[in-house]
Copies of this chain bind each other. A is one copy, B any other.
Amino acid sequence: MTERLVVVGGDAAGMSAASQARRRLGSDRLRVTVFERGAFTSYSACGIPYWTGGLVAERDDLVARTPQQHRARGIELHTGTEVVELDLAGRRVRSRDLDTGEEWWTGYDRLVLATGAEPVRPALPGFDAPGVHAVHTLPDGEALLDSLGRSGEHPRAVVVGGGYIGIEMVEALLLRGYRVTLVHRTPEPMPGLDPELGELVRRGLVELGVEVVPGAEAVEVLCGPDGRARAVRSTVGEHPGELVVLGLGVRPRTGLARAAGLALGVHGGLRTDERMRVLDADGARVPGVWAGGDCVEVLNLVSGRHQHVALGTHANKQGMVIGADLAGEELAFPGVVGTAVTKVRGLEIARTGVNEREAAAAGLAAVSVRVESTTRARYYPGSERLTVKLLAEPGSGRLLGAQLVGGGGTAKRVDAAAVALGAGLTVRQLLFQDLGYAPPFSPVWDPLLSAARALLPKL
């Protein structure tokens, strides 16, 4: 008997699940139907800052696999088609063709929800004006490029939000020749870092000529006579810029799931088990429904709490797990440790585990150390400053988190700490890990090990 799989959402998680299921189960066993609101599939939203910044030439460079390619592999894919209702009891979804308005029901045996996330866009005056941009989808990127094309001789931009997207868009706009003001709420940018590391990011931004406005909440976008943005008004002042980019984070796009009666977690995301099977409010499985990607919450293995992380790398893994589970293979997504990396020009930024605020929120006692090191042996050309902060649990000595800010070669060092966290290592165990050493790559005491050494006596 041929079963029918319906997937809602055609980006990383949805298309990974569809492709993996398709590859594992022949078309005699499974019919795979995907509904995608937009025109694109399997694209890198994380690449949008680099495309709009001019480092990536073409929109299509960000597309890993086109709708045509998916269709050629035996997936029935409906783009421009939004699923507007889930009937879980009747095992069917109602879709709408966004061009024609036509609606129809499609029955399913198994359902994958991969509806992604949506950027936070405050309902404040002017935030929907022309010149105000989110950078979440390829059409968002196209709209931003259109606004960039309107820029005059001394263009100015305001980026609202000091997190990853905000920082990356600051870089993009600098590359485009803008004078950039960064308006953000916290005392330092990058709230994923503790403030003393965030301060290093602020300094880096200021050195690049960015006007950084901390502790400021944007309250209005002021528009010119042409109706387009001309400035952002915040709680601390007015910040001129004919281009306004919002980097206020994203939240799970789960309105459809909520309307269907599915339970949501505290961050608004769907809750799943390790096989990405959707759970109800009591933690029991909702029959026949999987979810993955930016619409789910994931377990942080360090804090023991659920969190919402919108990252393509998790979405891809979760899609793979769903595809495997649909085919009866055992794979399990155990959770995350909260790793994130980014850069602004030559300054690389990374974190994993929990920071001090997150440790406190999770009820974890933490001691920490901050160490100044270098990206290469001090004497090797191009060696740059690298600051590491490590957090650990007193008593047990368990590593809780790592934060790194520094020059070229800093960011991916976080991986060693991430694996240490994933394996539950103590600081003492970390200290004796056999990390690669050669002068072009590291001082003889790797910065992470150097920090572990400094942290040990405090535990």
Contact = CB atoms under 8 A, between A and B. Distances in A.
Interface stretch (A97-105, A247-255, A330-338): A330-338
A436 B341 CA distance: 6
A311 B422 CA distance: 27
A436 B47 contact: no
Contacts of A434: 314, 336-339, 352, 418, 421-422
A449 B418 CA distance: 13
A336 B433 CA distance: 8
A92 B137 CA distance: 75
B313 A44 contact: no
Contact of A436 (B61, B339, B438): B339
Nearest to A349: B438
A56 B379 contact: yes
Nearest to A62: B379
B423 A435 contact: no
Given A435-B418, A436-B414, A444 B316 contact: yes
A423 B432 contact: no
Nearest to A425: B423
Given A56-B380, A341-B441, A436 B418 contact: yes
A433 B411 contact: no
Nearest to A409: B412
A322 to B, nearest CB: 14
A445 interface: yes
Given A313-B446, A409-B409, 9 more contacts: A46-B438, A55-B381, A331-B428, A341-B441, A343-B441, A411-B440, A412-B413, A415-B436, A418-B434
23 contacts: A46-B444, A47-B380, A55-B381, A313-B435, A313-B437, A313-B444, A314-B434, A317-B449, A332-B432, A339-B434, A339-B435, A339-B437, A341-B437, A343-B438, A411-B438, A412-B436, A412-B442, A415-B435, A416-B419, A419-B419, A419-B423, A419-B425, A423-B423
Interface of A: 12, 44, 46-47, 50, 55-56, 61-62, 64, 164, 311-314, 316-317, 320, 331-334, 336-343, 350, 352, 377, 379-381, 409, 411-416, 418-423, 425, 428-442, 444-446, 449, 453
